[in-house]
């Protein structure tokens, strides 16, 4: 049998939890700024468009103070792209292959070869004075190993050399060819003219709006608004990684309405604000390998930027400013989920690590809310397809049942039997296999369309059991019903045929999510009943202190 490993998922969780629990809490460790990945890996961009009503500053932070390198107050729209091969087509800048024709339908091909004026500038003023003295507007500033002045977007070294041969010198200064570099980023105005070029690996450079009175400092990135600044990095042989650099407070403004409705009761939103702040602080640097702290997806916390903000959720962030949960003086990872189904879970019953503040608690507040109960029906063929797509081959399925439950009711192991093999899926591996939106929690039971309903002769209780788990009379013996057989069952009037092989499996469950920490729907109910956010946090996070 071929098995697809789930080791990476659990390894990531283990690293996250062990790192979190070993980190000592201190107020000074709460960062004021945070970097959120917006585009990276397969979402990385070859070109982005930025808009700011007040124009832009380009620079970097030095001990919390922004040091401006380029000042662009009159450029509301700027285009940022890789310094590579591209064409302008219907107003868009499209990456192009230099091996193809040098023009497509009459559109000029631009390239990553440039020509530099060979001279040194000790300051930006020196560079700008020299640049302003040039008659040719095609020269532009460059920030790479100090200040430089270049010209051209040549498609080959030969083309650049031909320019030098024709031009000779500039103000008695020699010219030289600049070869391509995989780390360079090109900044253009909305006409496509180069404003400047920089090397993105020589500093953590940010584009941010020029500060103006009454301005929220919002940057529009390809139609989506963000507070703070935008960092754009280019790694070798890759597209550009786009990062939103902003304050922790502003980040939480864009998290809360994505994780909990921004119109919910204020005390529930305050509890969510503390939980989200805790998660952010405890996991700072989770994506350091990409140059940012946290991503904007469910792998971290869902972040929607400025456009999703709500007045009430912003108020919740402001009124809990600086508040975090601790356990024995250490910051906690305040896990949360949609609905507990009536009882939260111990951490080791979902993952492998026992966390003292993530203990299962009775949670009637979540009952009656959306997804406090759910049903998911699969045909046997659908399940076989799911298994096959994930690398499991058990043959024809004929039995699925929970092998073990936690004391709080969740399945710790699910057995799947087939004609050629069987597998056991531990803990959250079942949800990882079928889909987290399909099997909404591990609190479920499984029944089938082949189950029999049996009434007790003593107390009239009715239970359902699969046929192959029932004992029958065979001659003078009582034996277990053989698997994968068809039986004649007497219903009091006649014998009917019944197969012991199910055609459908019905998962009947409670709650949505891993069940650890705070139930969001439970928090909403508690707030509606008059509980404070401190009460909510105390209920869901055992033994913690709000500081």
In a domain, 213, yes or no: yes
In a domain, 3, yes or no: no
Q: Encoding tokens for residue 33? A: 């700024």
Residues 361 and 474 in one domain: no
pLDDT tens figures, 390-422? 999 999 998 999 999 999 999 999 999 999 999
Q: Is the pLDDT of residue 129 over 50?
A: yes
Residues 229 and 352 in one domain: no
At residue 15 the predicted structure's pLDDT band, cuts being 50, 70 and 90, is: very low
Residues 418 and 478 in one domain: no
Alpha-carbon distances, residue 126 vs 120, 129, 149, 195, 371 (angstroms): 9, 5, 11, 17, 66
Check residue 475 and give its pLDDT.
Answer: 58
Q: Output 103 or 200, whichever has higher pLDDT.
A: 200
The secondary structure of residue 481, as a DSSP letter, is: P
User: In whole numbers, what is the pLDDT of the chain averaged over residues?
Assistant: 87
Residues 469 and 518 in one domain: no
Residues 101 and 65 in one domain: yes
In a domain, 5, yes or no: no
Residues 206 and 62 in one domain: yes
Q: Output 3 or 376, whichever has higher pLDDT.
A: 376
Q: How does 74-109 read in b/e, with b if 16+ C-beta sit within 10 Å?
A: ebbebbbbbbbbbbeeeeebeebeeeeeeeeeeeeb
In a domain, 225, yes or no: yes
Residues 269 and 317 in one domain: yes
Check residue 93 and give its pLDDT.
Answer: 85
Residues 204 and 284 in one domain: no
In a domain, 461, yes or no: yes
Structural domain containing residue 406? 374-448+505-509
Please give the share of the chain, as a percent, with pLDDT higher than 90: 70
Check residue 492 and give its pLDDT.
Answer: 59
Domain finish residue from 234, 267, 294? 234
pLDDT tens figures, 77-124? 999 999 999 988 877 888 887 766 555 556 788 999 999 999 999 999
Residues 80 and 56 in one domain: yes
Residues 351 and 391 in one domain: no
Q: Is the pLDDT of residue 4 over 60?
A: no
Count structural domains, the chain: 4
Q: Output 461 or 29, whichever has higher pLDDT.
A: 29
Q: Is the pLDDT of residue 170 over 60?
A: yes
Residues 349 and 418 in one domain: no
Residues 189 and 55 in one domain: yes
In a domain, 364, yes or no: yes
SS (H, E, C) 18-47: HHHHCCECCHHHCCCEEEEEEECHHHCECE
In a domain, 241, yes or no: no
Note whether 184 and 194 are within 8 A (CB). no
Check residue 408 and give its pLDDT.
Answer: 96
Note whether 431 and 442 are within 8 A (CB). yes
Nearest C-alpha neighbor of 18 from the set 357, 355, 278? 355
Separation between Cα atoms, residue 452 and residue 464, nearest integer Å? 5
Note whether 511 and 518 are within 8 A (CB). no
Note whether 509 and 441 are within 8 A (CB). yes
Please give the share of the chain, as a percent, with pLDDT higher than 70: 84
In a domain, 1, yes or no: no
At residue 8 the predicted structure's pLDDT band, cuts being 50, 70 and 90, is: very low
Check residue 2 and give its pLDDT.
Answer: 41
DSSP for 174-235, please give it.
Answer: -EEEE---TTEEEEEETTS-EEEEEETTSS--EEEEPP-TT---EEEETTEEEESEEEEEE-
Separation between Cα atoms, residue 267 and residue 384, nearest integer Å? 45
Q: Is the pLDDT of residue 237 over 80?
A: no
Q: What is the mean pLDDT of residues 517-541?
A: 98
């Amino acid at each position: 049998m071929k098995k697809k490993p789930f080791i990476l998922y659990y390894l990531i969780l283990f690293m996250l939890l062990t790192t979190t629990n070993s980190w000592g809490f201190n107020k000074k460790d709460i960062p004021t700024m945070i970097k959120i990945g917006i585009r990276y890996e397969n979402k990385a961009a070859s070109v982005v468009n930025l808009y700011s009503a007040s124009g832009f500053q380009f620079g970097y932070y030095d001990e919390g103070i922004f040091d401006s390198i380029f000042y662009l107050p009159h450029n509301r729209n700027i285009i940022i792209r890789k310094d590579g091969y591209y064409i302008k087509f219907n107003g868009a800048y499209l990456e192009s292959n230099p091996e193809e024709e040098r023009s497509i339908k009459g559109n000029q091909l631009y390239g990553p070869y440039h020509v530099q004026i060979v001279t040194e500038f000790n300051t930006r003023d020196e560079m700008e004075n020299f640049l302003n003295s040039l008659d040719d507007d095609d020269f532009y500033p460059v920030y790479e190993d100090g200040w430089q002045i270049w010209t051209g977007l040549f498609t080959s070294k030969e083309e650049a050399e031909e320019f030098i041969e024709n031009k000779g010198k500039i103000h008695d200064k020699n010219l030289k060819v600049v070869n391509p570099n995989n780390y360079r980023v090109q900044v253009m105005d909305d006409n496509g003219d180069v404003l400047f070029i920089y090397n993105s690996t020589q500093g953590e450079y940010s584009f941010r709006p020029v500060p103006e009175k009454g301005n929220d400092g919002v940057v529009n990135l390809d139609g989506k608004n963000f507070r703070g600044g935008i960092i754009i990095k280019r790694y070798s042989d890759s597209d550009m990684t786009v990062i939103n650099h902003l304050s922790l407070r502003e980040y939480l403004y864009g998290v809360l309405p994505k994780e909990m409705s921004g119109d919910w009761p204020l005390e529930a939103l305050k509890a969510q604000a503390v939980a989200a702040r805790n998660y952010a602080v405890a996991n700072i640097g989770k994506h350091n390998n990409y140059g940012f702290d946290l991503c904007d997806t469910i792998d971290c916390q869902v972040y929607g930027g400025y456009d999703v903000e709500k007045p009430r959720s912003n108020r919740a962030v402001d009124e809990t400013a600086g508040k975090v949960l601790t356990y024995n003086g250490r910051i906690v990872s305040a896990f949360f989920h949609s609905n507990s189904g009536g009882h939260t879970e111990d951490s080791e019953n979902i993952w492998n690590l026992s966390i003292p503040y993530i203990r299962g608690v009775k949670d009637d507040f979540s009952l009656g809310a959306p997804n406090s109960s759910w049903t998911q029906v699969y045909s046997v063929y659908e399940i076989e397809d799911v298994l096959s797509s994930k690398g499991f081959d058990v043959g024809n399925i004929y039995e699925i049942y929970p092998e073990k439950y936690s004391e709080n009711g969740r399945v710790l192991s699910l057995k799947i039997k087939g004609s050629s093999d069987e597998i056991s899926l531990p803990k959250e591996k079942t949800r990882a296999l079928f889909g987290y939106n399909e099997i909404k929690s591990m609190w479920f039971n499984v029944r089938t369309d082949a189950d029999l309903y049996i009434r007790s002769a003593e107390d009239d209780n009715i239970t359902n059991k699969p046929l192959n788990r029932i004992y029958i009379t065979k001659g003078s013996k009582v034996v277990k019903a053989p698997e994968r057989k068809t039986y004649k069952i007497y219903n009091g009037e006649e014998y009917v045929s019944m197969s012991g092989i199910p055609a459908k499996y019905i998962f009947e469950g409670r709650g949505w999510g891993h069940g650890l920490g705070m139930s969001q729907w439970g928090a909403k109910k508690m707030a509606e009943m008059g509980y404070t956010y401190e009460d909510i946090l105390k209920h869901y996070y055992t033994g913690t202190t709000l500081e």
